Structure 1
Amino acid sequence: MQISGNTVFIPGATSGIGLALAIALRDRGNTVIVGGRRTDLLERIAAEHPGIGTVRIDTADAESIRVAAKQVLTDHPGLNVLVTMAGIMRVEDWHRPESFLASAESVMTTNVLGPIRLIAAFIEHLQAQPDATIMTVSSGLAFAPLKVTPSYNASKAAIHMLSESIRLQLADTGVKVVELEPPSVRTSLLPGQQDNETAMPLDEFVAEVMSLLEARPDATEIQVERVKFLRYGEARGDYDQVVATINDSDPHGK
């Protein structure tokens, strides 16, 4: 993915990693459109961050994705980058179905069906562009589980394998598939995570991501140093120790 000169749509970017990445990409000379459910947040972003476009979208709703995609492509026919940022994380207790079933269904709808539906809405357009990118967003927890968030872990593992698979299928097109793999970052993904000192500061994370994108435009996985502890535990042969560490020392993952 080239670091500038793109038209980028980031649904799920009204806060956290998504918004910080949107600002960083705008500052590097990209046209950026962010999407989210809450119109008040979208209005605030438009006012506080000139140059960033906004569109209302609920990535858990197939019809909302269809309507938003039509609007984005009408307003920005040069769109060539889709970042499937939207995601939710829930603490679950799998001892009793009433404690996890509704949560698990919601997580899977947002984190797995959402990206699938987004890609479906934009893939034909992206294939018609001379140079296009789909950036998926998995997690370090796709590779080592945090015991209190089973559905989230599974959803991000699914995104990893989806990314690997569609990259193979789209190899005969001009569409690149890049997987962003965050560690725990200081955002509001879980209550209190923004104050978790073991999580990576948001500004540091985004700065490192931008540096990696610039240094390695052909990379298929964007991995800051902090996430490699999780990503490569099995390859290093210390997977059991990685799992024990993130579950014993940090309620939100390493």
Structure 2
Amino acid sequence: MQLTDNTIFITGGTSGIGRGLAEAFHKLGNRVIISGRRKALLDEVTAANPGMKAIELDINDPASIQSVATTLIRDYPTLNVLINNAGIMPFDNAAAVIDDTVSQAILTTNLLGPIRLTSALIEHLKRQPRATIIHNTSALAYLPLAVSAVYSASKAALHSYALSQRFLLRDSSVRVQEIAPPWVNTDLIKKSDDPRAMPLDAFIEQTMAGLSTEAEEVVVEAARPIRDNPGANEHALVNAFNASLLANPVPV
């Protein structure tokens, strides 16, 4: 994608990867609008980045999505980039009873949220001379974390959706890119400065470099071994990955 001269809407833009991407694009002179549910956090980020705008959005509420889409199209007619970044990652136990409310929250936020928001904006984006939809999935879409089974499944589903959407938009002005982060040192789980987690600034720098290309998927080097599909050896890879984490658990 072209990294400048864009009007960009980012969900989940008040912390972590969302804020990092918002600030990186803002520094390049793009018009950036962030969203989130908590006005205080939105105000904090926009105050730290003069010129950045914010809109309150509950990504779990279809009515909120439609209302925000209407506002965006009206107030930012040059909107040409949508970054579906908002997500949650509760832990679960697929070998026991999983709270259905938690499962529904994960799937609504991580999968239905991006689908609904993209649907609400897609006709507007198709009218732009050039546009980009960016889906933030996860390396866990390819290598599931057993103690976050529903989260991993939601990201695998979003990856599949992006593949279909990219194909169907192939003859339009809209490009679909996917970023699939490894474990990044943010508060998605718990910002613990674990040495196994990729520093946020390094992730943002490498991801912006990848987004500047026409790559359909932007995978930082730390996540590339995970992305490379092991084929018939998938089960052994998943088992070894999770066994190593059980020996040294992710802090929660």
TM-superposed CA distance for 1:237, in Å, is 4.7
Q: How far apart are the structure 2 equivalents of 1:95 and 1:186? A: 28
1:100 to partner: Cα distance: 3.1
- The worse-fitting range, judged by mean Cα deviation, of 145-154 and 229-238 is 229-238
**Counterparts of 2:111 and 2:225, CA distance in 1:** 24
Contact 1:147 1:247 in 2 (8 A): no
Instruction: Quote the offset at 1:121 in angstroms.
Output: 0.8
Q: How many residues align?
A: 249
Q: Spell out the pairing of 1:38-187 with structure 2 (5 A cutoff).
A: 38-97=38-97, 99-187=98-186
Unaligned runs of 5+ in 1: none
Identity rate of aligned residues, in percent? 41
**Which residue of structure 1 aligns with residue 240 of structure 2?**
244
Query: What is the letter of the counterpart of residue 135 of structure 1?
Result: I
State the SS of the aligned residue for 2:178: strand
- 1:210 counterpart (197, 208, 211): 208
Amino acid corresponding to residue 174 of structure 1 in structure 2: S
Q: Give yes or no for contact 1:93–1:100 (8 Å, CA) kept in 2.
A: no
Partner of 2:10: 10
Q: Give me the whole-angstrom Cα distance separating, in 1, the residues matched to 2:172 and 2:89.
A: 33
Runs of 4+, deviation exceeding 4 Å: 235-239
SS in 2 for 1:113: helix
Q: Is the 8 A contact 1:6 1:30 kept in 2?
A: yes
Alignment CA distance shift 1:144-1:124 (3 Å): same
Is 2:131–2:174's contact at 8 Å kept on the other side of the alignment? yes
> TM-score, normalization: structure 2?
0.93
How far apart are 1:244 and its partner, in Å? 1.2
Mapped partners of 1:39, 1:201: distance in 2: 27
- Quote the offset at 1:196 in angstroms: 2.0
Of 186, 191, 194 in structure 2, the residue corresponding to residue 196 of structure 1 is 194
- Indicate conservation of the 8 Å contact 1:83/1:136, yes or no: yes
1:242 offset after TM fit, Å? 5.2
* Residue 13 to residue 236, structure 1, CA distance change in 2 (3 Å): farther
Q: CA RMSD in A?
A: 1.7
With structure 1 as the length reference, what TM-score do the two structures score?
A: 0.93
Distance (whole Å) between structure 2 residues aligned to residue 103 and residue 193 of structure 1: 21
Alpha-carbon offset, residue 236 of structure 1: 9.4
Answer yes or no: is 1:219 the counterpart of 2:215: yes
- Kept in 1, the 8 Å contact 2:230–2:237? The answer is no
> Secondary structure at the residue paired with 2:143?
coil
Give, in angstroms, the shift of residue 247 of structure 1: 4.1
SS in 1 for 2:67: helix
Unaligned runs of 5+ residues in structure 2 are none
